[in-house]
Amino acid sequence: MIVQPPKRNLTVKSVNAYPEACSYNPRGTVRCAGLRLFRNQLARDFGCLLDVDFDVDEWKCQPMVLRSGSRSHVPDFLVAGKRETWLLDASESPPGSWVEAAALEKGFRFAWKGGQEIGAGHRLRNAKDLLRYANWHCPLGDRVRLLAALDEQGSMTVAECLPAFAEVQPIAGLSSLVLHRFVEIDLDEAPIGPETQVRRFRG
């Protein structure tokens, strides 16, 4: 198992509103705190984007129930970022405006992301490809070899990086280093390929 990076403590308890929705692919995560509970594939897809967002420290699924009178709603995510923590929904249509007000009463900003925005461009596909290797660990020797080469070269293509991996499957090792922020690649420009540039993570 990959050793998870230090996580901010999200103290609210998950509300298991969708216990059957835990098997959407990919199953691996790197910054999810607690149970991985997704109401549908769209929510799972957005969780993939959270895992590769440099501004996100960690995220939690279905964290609480928001209420207003007789109405109730379980947001998909509680997201701890660099500057603030907020509630997020991923759905084809936004919830009622009362949800934002209910979130503010609990001290959180609320945002909604639709399917078109979540699936736009290459980022989601690239995130899913990387997260196939979420449970892999890159050994120290391979990591040091690649980081030393990047320090010398500045940047290298994916193809040029692969010979640095002697102890683990090369793509699995490289994916692990991207997911755990030792190195970075451009997830938006094109699908990950042999010519994709790899650099030291700059934060």
- Residue 202, pLDDT above cutoff 80: yes
**Are residues 75 and 18 located together in one domain of the fold?**
yes
Last-in-domain residue among 120, 149, 171: 120
> Is the predicted pLDDT of residue 8 greater than 60, yes or no?
no
Residue with tokens 């991996």: 165
Name every residue whose Cβ is closer than 8 Å to that of residue 77 and which is 6 or more positions away in sequence.
43, 46, 47, 50, 59, 60, 61, 62, 63, 87, 88, 89, 90
- Calculate the average pLDDT of the chain: 90
The residue ranking higher by pLDDT, 52 or 8, is: 52
Q: pTM for the complete prediction?
A: 0.86
Mean pLDDT of 110-119: 95
Q: What is the mean pLDDT of residues 109-130?
A: 96
Nearest one of 29, 202, 12 to 108, comparing CA atoms: 12
pLDDT, tens digit, for every residue of 133-143?
A: 999 999 999 99
Q: What range defines the domain where residue 11 resides?
A: 1-120
* Co-location of 29 and 104 in the same domain: yes
Same domain, 146 and 107: no
Return the structure tokens found at 22. Answer: 């835990």
- Can you tell me the distance from the alpha carbon of 19 to that of 42, in angstroms, rounded to the nearest whole number? 16
Evaluate whether residue 158 is within a structural domain.
yes
Task: Note the pLDDT of residue 10.
Answer: 46
